[in-house]
Structure 1
Amino acid sequence: MNVLRSLFSRPAPAPLSYMKLGPEGSTENPLMIQFFTWDSKANGMSWWKHFEEEIPRLREMGFTQVWLPPPNKAAEPEGRGYDAYDLWDLGEFDQKGTVATRWGSREEFLSACRVAKEHDVDILIDAVLNHKLGADRTESFQAIPVDPQNRLKDLDKAKEIEGWTNFNFPGRGNKYSTMHWNQEHFTGVDWDHNTRSKGVFKIVGKGHKGWSKNVDRELGNYDFLLGIDIDHRHPEVQKDFLSWGPWILETTGAVGFRLDAIKHIDRDFTRRFLQNTRRSTDRRMFSVAEYWSGNLDAVLPFSKTFKGETAFFDVPLHMNFHNASKHYSRYDLRTVMSKSLVEAKPGYAHCKKFLLGDELILISIQVEGQSLESWVGDHFKLQAYALILLRSTGYPCVFYGDLYPNHECYNEHIARNLKSLIKARKLFAYGATQDYPLGKNCVGFVRMGDSTHPGCAVILSNREDDYLHTIRMSVGKAHAGSTFQSYLTTDGRVEIDSDGWGEFTCFAGSAQVWVKA
């Protein structure tokens, strides 16, 4: 009995300790890129073709995984895919006024996936499972209007409304999936077509169970987010999604998912979806979930319910970066990692000569809707990237908009130095991390290196003047008598003494990396 109790009480594995992050047998640090912005467009070619052409360069830089935009047919021709109409249509059928999606055709998408696989670059599917949009016709049913700020509070009695809830996919028919959706498969809508009124309407009547209880408690109950909210407790819904998961991975050769808006999805179903897909495809299937909250006390309990089935974006750390960029030198850099997932759940797993925390870090994002936008300002972006790319904890994600020219957020100076930080991660950022918190406006750390990588020293500052910071840091006796040089600039040298210590510098308001000359 004690043995059985021990077996069943074992803690869940840290997700990144068993998930596929890069090529088999590689000792190289893994790295992800979000390969799109909200308004992404490629000149003279589809987005999928642009991605295919960039794959060799991405791999050479050190990227091992690519998070692509949702490949499914959207409700509108220019829809990004988050306005999900048909998950089974990857740009193959004439639906919603187009055959190809905003990103390109099915053939172009699958071609890019094949090229990525040839170059040992893993594809991640952005799975939009919370809601649907763009129904083919309306239906009449009973619904109760609820308070948008408290979905547990009814504003009126049940009444008949007309909602866009019927999806029969006339272009695709029954290919790949025979399921046609109707009001029975949803919990709520945000539009009554009969009265032309917006709101949050909870669908009631025969077979309906109300909002799921296994969701975030924000706004009383955050089951409903937007559009036509899916009821993940319905057997037909579950069957369709549980078939789609393995199908999309097998069709594309992708290794896993980025899960959109999971705080609004019944978590018991999401966990089952991951378990089922992992059993049907690969035990090492990758998964990272977007639970958008900067409150660590809210994220931790939610993440634990997944029992190691998915990693989570470290939104609390992202918000620390956002606040640091907003408050300039008033922000205490010594607290930048405080109340983050990588601080609260280090959960290190030794894997292929590098240490990984069990969470992902995303520092700069483009999201749907103004309410979630929390950009990291340009004056702090390199410091933030240095923290996630060069430390030993976490698994970083680089944003396309910070690396490639675009009209939304591109800064040539940042892009140039970001490339150097990415290269430093590939070549130097290995081994244990030793911190040197000089003061409120300047911190440093050293990666001690390993048997095949020399390590590096890093300094970050958020002062707003012309001050030159100096931090005495140890790079280890193995480097005694050597010289370190600045990696982000063309000048600057540090002599390492007989005990392995050196006086490293950094100009105010910048980041500096030092490597062995």
Structure 2
Amino acid sequence: MKTLFKFLIILLFINYSCSNNEAGVDSVIDETSSQNSSEKKLKARQGLKPIGTGVMMQAFYWDVPAGGTWWEKVESKVQSWSDAGIDAIWLPPVSKAQNGAFSMGYDPFDYYDFGQYNQMGSVETRFGSKTELESLINKAHNAKLSVIADIVINHNSGGELEDNPYTGTPYYTDFNPKSGKFFRTNSDFHPNANCNSDSGVFGGFPDLSHCQPYVQDWLWKRSNSVAKYYKNVMGFDGWRFDYVKGFEPWVVREWKNAVGGFSVGEYWDGNASTLDWWSGEAQVSAFDFACYYRMRDAFQGNDLNKLKGDMLWKRNSRKAVTFVANHDTDEIYNGKLLAYAYILTHEGYPTIFYRDYEEWLSKTKLKNLIWIHNNLAGGSTSILHVDNDEYVARRNGHNNAGLVVYINNSNSWKERWIETNWSNTRIKDYTGNSNWQPVTQGGKWVKVQAPPKSYTVWSPK
């Protein structure tokens, strides 16, 4: 009888809980399932290529096809990307945003809805379902690729209208996500009782207040915080922080200290000194916008002298993530392949843009440059010659022979004597753009060449 009584009490308790806290029960079930899968996901990370030893693929572009098929499309490509020398893929924001199935994710609503809750007008995100996302991450890990999450924590969108005692006017700051995690109200946004503002707002969206302990707890401190859930449950390996101009560098630093993983910030500024400052304060990498704008000026303006300009990779190559195009900006039309030849032979961690690799440029040539980056482009950089049409630089080698890259932006073949690191050594062009195989002199000098509007990369045969 005593056993039966206990059983009835348990049934009553479960029934009461289900009827009064459905989201809470879902959360408990979700957490239990999450804990069971964490060990498998951590094990799957063993054997991943170290981030930075290869090349990152930006695995999306603005307005990829809607309809929930993008995760499946990317999954079909991860093994071939890995075979080509990619070491990580950067995904768009993966959680449910205000525009539901039509959103690119940069207007985040529920950080824990990966396409499994019916809210914001859809169940799936633009890219697919939670199940499809998990399948993609698992397939990427099996292909030895790390997966980088795009983290949007400056602003939120999709909240309900509520009175705001700090401004005296109502605003859209009442967030009630169906995941049952990270509810938000006006005190979690600027202005509030503790903080009036931070570095900046974006697009008129409610500006998340990182000074509030509740916000910090849910973003990175709690055991089921966004940071820890994304890493330990979903299986993400690193972070790309969106619009970091909107909040202080310590936010990124604290997130990184809480969960680790490769981290890079989008500090959109062409000043290399500013990028170096932000990277140092945040203690993470930064996209090298200074390099991007110098390349734009060099190749669009047909003046390679611009490549002499200051860039983050020249100041701190270990913190520079270089790129030729991304989902926000694509201004290098003339000589885009030459720009890739530049970043894939120079210091920094280079990124390939999905559409350049899969649609717009020669995949064969990009694969060749990725191979060159991964196998020859080691050590410090020495710039050997720069003028309006020609750029020649030497990588001095680190556990490899190094290389000489010759970029020719003119309309005719060019030849130039340059000093290498190799004495009495036969060298070849690893791009196949020249069939020369000269032998360096005893003093390490040699004549090399490059075809018009093209490039060559030289190293010992």
TM-score clears 0.5: yes
Q: Which amino acid aligns with 1:447?
A: R
Q: Check the 8 A contact 2:321/2:349 in 1, yes or no.
A: yes
2:196 pairs with 1:210: yes
Q: Which amino acid aligns with 1:29?
A: T
Partner of 1:237: 215
Residues 225 and 297 (structure 1), Cα distance of their counterparts in 2 relative to 1, 3 Å cut: farther
Query: Cα offset for 1:128?
Result: 0.7
Spell out, residue by residue over 1:28-57, the C-alpha distance to the aligned partner (whole angstroms, 9 max, x if none): 932111110002238x97111111111110
2:276 pairs with 1:300: yes
Partner of 2:231: 249
Partner of 1:484: 428
Query: Cα offset for 1:74?
Result: 1.3
Partner of 1:514: 458
Partner of 2:183: 180
Equivalent in 48, 61, 65 of residue 84 of structure 2: 61
Q: Check the 8 A contact 2:297/2:306 in 1, yes or no.
A: no
Equivalent in 47, 58, 72 of residue 49 of structure 1: 72
Q: Check the 8 A contact 1:233/1:269 in 2, yes or no.
A: no
2:374 pairs with 1:426: yes
2:342 pairs with 1:387: yes
Mapped partners of 2:63, 2:401: distance in 1: 40
Q: Check the 8 A contact 2:49/2:87 in 1, yes or no.
A: no
Q: Check the 8 A contact 2:414/2:452 in 1, yes or no.
A: yes
Q: Which amino acid aligns with 2:257?
A: Q
Q: Check the 8 A contact 1:317/1:337 in 2, yes or no.
A: no
Mapped partners of 2:203, 2:46: distance in 1: 34
Report the 3-state secondary structure (helix = DSSP H, G, I; strand = E; otherwise coil) of the residue aligned with 2:163: strand
2:403 pairs with 1:403: no
Q: Check the 8 A contact 1:324/1:380 in 2, yes or no.
A: no
Q: Check the 8 A contact 2:324/2:332 in 1, yes or no.
A: no
Report the 3-state secondary structure (helix = DSSP H, G, I; strand = E; otherwise coil) of the residue aligned with 2:120: coil
Mapped partners of 2:203, 2:228: distance in 1: 26
Query: Cα offset for 1:515?
Result: 4.5
Q: Check the 8 A contact 1:142/1:161 in 2, yes or no.
A: yes
Written as runs of structure 1 = structure 2, the 5 A alignment for 1:136-155 is 137-142=160-165
Q: Check the 8 A contact 2:49/2:146 in 1, yes or no.
A: no
Query: Cα offset for 1:252?
Result: 2.3
Residues 63 and 27 (structure 1), Cα distance of their counterparts in 2 relative to 1, 3 Å cut: closer
Partner of 1:193: none
Spell out, residue by residue over 1:452-508, the C-alpha distance to the aligned partner (whole angstroms, 9 max, x if none): x44433111233xx3221121244435x2525246243x521311442432111133
Mapped partners of 1:446, 1:209: distance in 2: 50
Equivalent in 314, 317, 320 of residue 343 of structure 1: 314
Spell out, residue by residue over 1:238-264, the C-alpha distance to the aligned partner (whole angstroms, 9 max, x if none): 111122111111112221111111110
Partner of 1:262: 244
Residues 304 and 428 (structure 1), Cα distance of their counterparts in 2 relative to 1, 3 Å cut: closer
Q: Which amino acid aligns with 1:427?
A: N
Q: Check the 8 A contact 2:394/2:402 in 1, yes or no.
A: yes
Query: Cα offset for 1:165?
Result: 1.4
Mapped partners of 2:93, 2:50: distance in 1: 28
Structure 2 length as normaliser, TM-score? Answer: 0.82
Q: Which amino acid aligns with 1:301?
A: W
Mapped partners of 2:170, 2:65: distance in 1: 36
Mapped partners of 1:272, 1:486: distance in 2: 43
Mapped partners of 1:23, 1:431: distance in 2: 25
Residues 236 and 338 (structure 1), Cα distance of their counterparts in 2 relative to 1, 3 Å cut: same
Equivalent in 70, 75, 87 of residue 93 of structure 2: 70
Report the 3-state secondary structure (helix = DSSP H, G, I; strand = E; otherwise coil) of the residue aligned with 1:124: strand
Residues 295 and 226 (structure 1), Cα distance of their counterparts in 2 relative to 1, 3 Å cut: farther
Q: Which amino acid aligns with 2:285?
A: A
Q: Which amino acid aligns with 1:361?
A: T
Partner of 1:365: 326
Partner of 2:141: 117
Q: Which amino acid aligns with 1:245?
A: A
Q: Check the 8 A contact 1:429/1:449 in 2, yes or no.
A: yes
Residues 486 and 67 (structure 1), Cα distance of their counterparts in 2 relative to 1, 3 Å cut: closer
Q: CA RMSD in A?
A: 2.6
Report the 3-state secondary structure (helix = DSSP H, G, I; strand = E; otherwise coil) of the residue aligned with 1:495: coil
Mapped partners of 1:488, 1:470: distance in 2: 16
Query: Cα offset for 1:68?
Result: 0.8
Written as runs of structure 1 = structure 2, the 5 A alignment for 1:32-43 is 32-41=56-65
Report the 3-state secondary structure (helix = DSSP H, G, I; strand = E; otherwise coil) of the residue aligned with 2:450: strand
Q: Check the 8 A contact 2:291/2:322 in 1, yes or no.
A: yes
Between the two proteins, what is the percent identity of the paired residues? 24
Q: Which structure is richer in relative contact order (CA contacts within 8 A, separation 6 or more)?
A: 1
Partner of 1:354: none
